[in-house]
Amino acid sequence: MKIKQAKRLDSVSTYYFAKKLVEIADLNAQNEMQIINLGIGSPDLLPPKEVIDILKTSADEFDANKYQSYKGQPALRAAFAEWYKSHFEVTIDQNTDILPLMGSKEGIMHIHMSLLNQGDEVLVPNPGYPAYRMTASLAGSNTVFYDLKSENGWLPDLEKLSSNDLSKVKLMWINYPHMPTGAKANLDFYKELVAFAKKHEIIICHDNPYAFILNDEPISIMQVEGARDWCVELVSLSKCYNMAGWRVGALVGHSNMINTVMKFKSNMDSGMYKPLQIAAAKALSMGQDWMDSLNQVYAKRKKIAQEIMKEIGAEYEENKVGMFVWAKIQSSTLNSAEFCDQILYGAKVFITPGHIFGSNGEGYVRISLCSNDETLRTALDRIRINKSK
């Protein structure tokens, strides 16, 4: 039987990494030398031991396997509220303004499906996380890209945006620390952004999973007065606590927004596994010592990744944060995909081409810091050997 896909899938493609991982698996099957994957930001380090221990013990509780509340365990919501208070000095009502999620990527889809109608427009950063565009298309809306460029610190030009027709725009996605560039925002910019949102009646969706990675000044858009009326924020335990596969995040915002997204979410799942929630609450209680120890590891890795960038002839900016190194290809006639494939097939090292994040990512490449020092140095050695051939 020939099955025709739904028309809504015509506007999206399979996620780049899903396809590339299949290619890498095929190459590994054909060659004795296995590909070193420096592409995906999936933490290789373990979560805190205390968190793993609580997950194990919670699994033995008599009600662990029951359906859970759609709003999440009170203990988890309380932990998110305390986390915001501790790290950002922001008071969040745990009963009304927080919705735990099975990862923040789920939240992106939920927001679009809950708020967008056919023909609505969504402002999406270029370069930026591909899921913003893909899920907006699945929801039946139209993507309008706004430029992020190095000369403007990878921040949007709000004055230029205001000169456009924004009458159909309902949402705007931002993401700082920014993926893939590692650019930071500051509270002055967020104040301007909240004013922009209020003027044009646009909901700002801030995706904030990298706040603490190699970043001495973590901030939340919720620190700005009036942000709760116009902004929502997605946070995640994937990066800061090495819990990517656990799928735990949260949406924070005004109760009206939370209730709207909740209406959609309650028809999509039957609650998160309780032991995961209890363990996540413990993770959120980890103090600055945890963040410091994590960043010591990433700082060492970053130096090696920067050496790799120098070796392949790509120039990076020193003042960027997060778990990636983003760099501009120098003196090459190849586009970013061809450039990365040349390294993949020649040195057996995979790095990410910048074009997958949008047209403004063309000419750039990205290396993830989610491999240990030895693996990164082996990748560097392979590239040097291949270069000398």
Q: Are strands 249-252 and 98-101 parallel, antiparallel or unpaired?
A: antiparallel
The answer to whether residues 199 and 318 belong to one domain is no
**Residue 154 belongs to some domain of the structure:** yes
Alpha-carbon distance of 145 to 124, in angstroms, equals: 5
Res 270: pLDDT: 86
The answer to whether residues 189 and 265 belong to one domain is yes
The answer to whether residues 215 and 84 belong to one domain is yes
Mean residue pLDDT across the chain: 93
The answer to whether residues 340 and 198 belong to one domain is no
Res 1: pLDDT: 62
At which of 286, 307, 326 does a domain end?
Answer: 286
In the chain, the number of structural domains is 2
Domain coverage including residue 75: 50-286
Do the beta carbons of residue 199 and residue 159 sit within 8 Å?
no
**Residue 2 belongs to some domain of the structure:** no
Which DSSP symbol is given to 164?
S
Give the model confidence (pLDDT) of 180-193 as tens digits.
999 999 999 999 99
**Residue 103 belongs to some domain of the structure:** yes
For the segment 30-36, the average pLDDT, to the nearest whole number, is 87
Res 13: pLDDT: 65
Output the domain CATH number for residue 84. Answer: 3.40.640.10
The answer to whether residues 268 and 336 belong to one domain is no
**Residue 1 belongs to some domain of the structure:** no
Could you give phi then psi for residue 358, rounded to 5 degrees? 130, 170
Do the beta carbons of residue 231 and residue 194 sit within 8 Å?
yes
Query: What is this structure's pTM?
Result: 0.93
Do the beta carbons of residue 248 and residue 274 sit within 8 Å?
no
For the segment 372-379, the average pLDDT, to the nearest whole number, is 97
